[in-house]
Amino acid sequence: MVKVYEINGIRPVVHPSAYVHPTAVLIGDVIVGPRCYIGPLASMRGDFGRLVLEEGANLQDTCVVHGFPGADTVVEVDGHIGHGAVLHGCRIGRNSLVGMNAVVMDNAVVGEESIIAAMSFVKANMVIPARSMVMGTPARVVRQVSDVELKWKMSGTSQYHELAVRSMQTMREVEALTEAEPDRQRIHWDSALPLHLHKNASA
């Protein structure tokens, strides 16, 4: 069961097909759509502005989503937010990716099918055209996202759709083993490749 927090009489909304890890924190005006995945220790603090994850979006471990009063922070359909990213009062377009530890600030708009590179800092009010590759601190558009990169992004998001289902079906709190079993199984996920290997495979 998802543990969420009401504030000022407003409580989070979580679609039954979404998975929210028990250590994630959802407060107030938060709306989580179908087939979303929210990872361990993620924080969606809707105590000022509204926070929305649209269908199929994922918010990974230790991400923070927040915003100012009167402003919505939105991750559109199939948005993909990497580990440790911070979103504040911004809009992430459909099928876009925000890389690990990137920051996207207030009133920034990330166009659909864009990729924000890891550790980038997207300044307030920046408007990023669709299908842009964005890098740096401060961030700038460096080129268009290639077909191979977009395919890789979509594959990764699909894996998080599957992870939401797998987590709901098999994840449970247990006691740790004291030693590894001699025939210990591995989790097999052959389609999960880092981008540089995906590019090589597609060459």
Reported pTM: 0.92
CA dist 11 and 31 (Å) reads: 9
pLDDT tier at 187, thresholds 50, 70, 90: confident
pLDDT tier at 52, thresholds 50, 70, 90: very high
CA dist 157 and 57 (Å) reads: 8
Which stretch of 20-29, 96-105, 192-201 has the lowest confidence by average pLDDT? 192-201
pLDDT at 196 over 60: no
pLDDT at position 2? 81
Ordered structural domains, the chain, with CATH? 13-144 (2.160.10.10)
pLDDT at position 109? 98
Tell me which amino acid residue 57 is: A
Q: What tens digit of pLDDT does each residue of 64-120 get?
A: 999 999 899 999 999 999 999 999 999 999 999 999 999 999 999 999 999 999 999
pLDDT at 16 over 70: yes
pLDDT at position 192? 59
CA dist 85 and 98 (Å) reads: 7
Q: What percent of the chain has pLDDT over 90?
A: 89
User: For 150, what's the count of Cα atoms within 13 Å in the CB-facing half-sphere?
Assistant: 13
Q: Under a CB-based contact definition with an 8 Å cutoff, are residues 57 and 71 in contact?
A: no
pLDDT at 34 over 60: yes
Nearest to 51 by CA among 80, 21, 23, 14: 14
pLDDT tier at 203, thresholds 50, 70, 90: low
pLDDT at 63 over 70: yes
Residue with tokens 């864009």: 114
Q: Give the list of residues 6+ apart from residue 68 with CB closer than 8 angstroms, or none.
A: 48, 49, 89, 106
Instruction: At 47, list the tokens.
Output: 């105590």
